[in-house]
Amino acid sequence: MSLPIDTIRALANEHPKPGHLHFQYGTAGFRTLGVNLDSVIFRVGLLAGLRSKKLDGKTIGVMITASHNPEDDNGVKLVDPRGEMLEASWEAHATALANATTTDTLISTLDQLVSSLRIDLSKPAKVVYARDTRPSGASLVASLEDGFRALNIEARNAGITTTPILHYLVRAINTKETKEPYGDDTEEGYMQKLSGAFKKLVAGKPAIPPLIIDCANGVGTQAARELGQYLGSSLPLVLHNTDTTSPGILNHGCGADFVKTQQKLPPSLAAHLRPGQRACSLDGDADRLMYFYLDDRGHFHMLDGDKIAALVAAFIVDLVKSAGLEEDIRVGIVQTAYANGGSTKYLSERLPVRCVPTGVKHLHHAAEHYNIGVYFEANGHGTVLFSPETQVKLAEHQPSTPAQSTALTHLNNLVQVINQTVGDALSDMLLVEVVLAHRSYSGIEWDSLYVDLPNRLVKVVVPDRAIFKTEDAERRLVNPPGLQSKIDDLVRKYESGRSFVRPSGTEDVVRVYAEARVRAQADELAFRVAGLVYDETGGDPAQRPS
């Protein structure tokens, strides 16, 4: 069987590539201004079909979102059959297709892929797709559907939903009627699975006070609203920033990325949050979570991905011990260079900790090496993975005491409440609430597990971020030559100083992270390193970070 060239040609001609742009499948797929993505999304439709055919007709996911980025941005990422990110070797194929300059080169690139990857075109192709609430989403979905039409792909529209729900659906569809069904392959199935396990985990605990959720004016609004109905009084949810239709307000002055980068309360919550009350922020596609609270003096305290990892990992380790499985189940942590030095110290005194480059795919794969792998990026993106053998062990282990039996039941329910396909703000929120309920912690006790080193993240706009190359899990620069030793010289001048520089995979900027013993020093170090980066690339002095 060969490619339906005429159909592809006719549809491809309706989605021409803008000549001046180069696209790159990066940290989280393709991401740029929504108005520039028509041709990319059409081609992603084609690639999803090829990927499905290559995997014998397994269902592939396609999510149209730009997550925490501004409303005018959009993006697209592919999801592999178990709900994980697209296999790394296919990222290059995605980039090649996206950059084919004409319809003819697109068709010849497709042809090359089919033959070099030995794709049997007679196999079926199945895809499930969704989008977030961005205004550019509807027309981009139409471009995607043209891609599906061009290859006669069987496509299921999951509508407007969160990224983690789309990942859940992919896994649920592909595991239906197998030995390891992941859940009912509907949004209701997801809600039931998570809320059912949550209720079992908090049964018998004192009533949980209401939790404020900042929905970032994004797609998390509808999912949180629905989940709230399933949870009922087991976890009262109070939703804010729920306007998904007014232009320009998605992720604006709110959301998980705002909280993490500004290290302050979204202004819209100021009138609603009482001292001591827990609150959390989702991001624009509800795959990141930040908790926070105000102390008695009204000071803001952030509980980020590192704090979530510490809370959750310690709880799981205790349950594994209580279940009598300490010798059989190894729990480990995966972080990135952004992890606060305070968290890395706290965790590595208790558990094996690995550092990997930014991007969920890196963390996810590293976490798979543990029996139970806890991975969180400081920005609030993360989850917990239970290896297949561990899940069998937990399901089959015979406890010898009532205490072991209780711990084992809790672990088995945790397997259900956690979305193991990808970081999921709502699932992570339930997980956090379970631990807080079991520990009788408020935000204050949770926060006191360890003290964060003051830190600062700065963006630097440079003419070409591609010249920045890193090694050692992005902790050191190898290019531009000589820049790392200048950074090292600076860092040595600061007590507990640490800083690194890396090109973003989702925005056209270079990121600079710095931490130090005191706040003023962390800020100063970040801006001095940002200045070094700026000088190195010869930018306009008027734009120099200060």
Long-range contacts (CB closer than 8 Å, 24 or more residues apart) made by 76-80: 76/29, 76/30, 76/37, 76/40, 76/41, 76/44, 76/140, 76/144, 77/28, 77/29, 77/30, 78/29, 78/44, 78/47, 78/48, 78/51, 79/166, 79/167, 79/170, 79/421, 80/51, 80/55, 80/170
Comparison of 392 and 466: residue with beta carbon closer to ligand G16: 466
* Residue the block writes with tokens 């149209």: 64
- Return the SS3 of 28: coil
DSSP annotation of 26 reads: B
Comparison of 283 and 306: residue with beta carbon closer to ligand G16: 283
Whether residue 351 contacts residue 313, with contact meaning beta carbons closer than 8 Å, is answered with: yes
Q: Tell me the closest approach of the beta carbon of residue 115 to ligand G16, in angstroms.
A: 32
Q: What DSSP string describes 57-95?
A: T-EEEEEE--TTS-TTEEEEEEE-TTSPBPPHHHHHHHH
Residues 6+ apart with CB under 8 A from 87: 80
DSSP annotation of 504 reads: -
Comparison of 162 and 413: residue with beta carbon closer to ligand G16: 162
- Return the SS3 of 30: strand
Comparison of 23 and 198: residue with beta carbon closer to ligand G16: 23
Structure tokens at 112: 């090359």
Q: Tell me the closest approach of the beta carbon of residue 250 to ligand G16, in angstroms.
A: 13
Angle between helices 187-202 and 402-417 (to 10 degrees): 150
Whether residue 510 contacts residue 465, with contact meaning beta carbons closer than 8 Å, is answered with: yes
Whether residue 426 contacts residue 195, with contact meaning beta carbons closer than 8 Å, is answered with: no
Q: If you count DSSP H runs as helices and E runs as strands, how many of each does the chain have, helices first? A: 18, 19
Residue 9 CB burial class (10 angstroms; 0-12, 13-18, ≥19): middle
Q: Tell me the closest approach of the beta carbon of residue 156 to ligand G16, in angstroms.
A: 22
Q: Tell me the closest approach of the beta carbon of residue 87 to ligand G16, in angstroms.
A: 16
Query: How many Å apart are CA 127 and CA 132, to the nearest integer?
Result: 17
162: left (phi over 0), alpha (psi -120 to 50) or beta: beta
Q: Tell me the closest approach of the beta carbon of residue 257 to ligand G16, in angstroms.
A: 7
As a residue count, the chain comes to: 546
- Determine what percent of the chain falls in helix, strand and coil, rounding each to the nearest 5: 45, 20, 40
Q: Tell me the closest approach of the beta carbon of residue 60 to ligand G16, in angstroms.
A: 18
Query: How many Å apart are CA 507 and CA 499, to the nearest integer?
Result: 20
Query: How many Å apart are CA 51 and CA 402, to the nearest integer?
Result: 48
Whether residue 385 contacts residue 46, with contact meaning beta carbons closer than 8 Å, is answered with: no
Q: Tell me the closest approach of the beta carbon of residue 546 to ligand G16, in angstroms.
A: 22
Comparison of 59 and 67: residue with beta carbon closer to ligand G16: 67
Comparison of 66 and 314: residue with beta carbon closer to ligand G16: 66
Q: Tell me the closest approach of the beta carbon of residue 487 to ligand G16, in angstroms.
A: 18
Q: Tell me the closest approach of the beta carbon of residue 364 to ligand G16, in angstroms.
A: 10
Query: How many Å apart are CA 499 and CA 509, to the nearest integer?
Result: 17
- Tell me which of 67, 136, 143, 499 is the catalytic residue: 67
Report the interface residues with ligand G16, using CB under 6 A.
Answer: 27-28, 67-68, 283, 287-288, 358-360, 377, 379, 381, 504-507, 511
Comparison of 75 and 497: residue with beta carbon closer to ligand G16: 75
Comparison of 288 and 475: residue with beta carbon closer to ligand G16: 288
Whether residue 103 contacts residue 11, with contact meaning beta carbons closer than 8 Å, is answered with: no
Comparison of 234 and 344: residue with beta carbon closer to ligand G16: 344
Q: Tell me the closest approach of the beta carbon of residue 51 to ligand G16, in angstroms.
A: 19
Q: Which residues pair with 160 in a beta bridge?
A: 131
Query: How many Å apart are CA 51 and CA 119, to the nearest integer?
Result: 9
- Catalytic, 67? Answer yes
Catalytic residues: 67
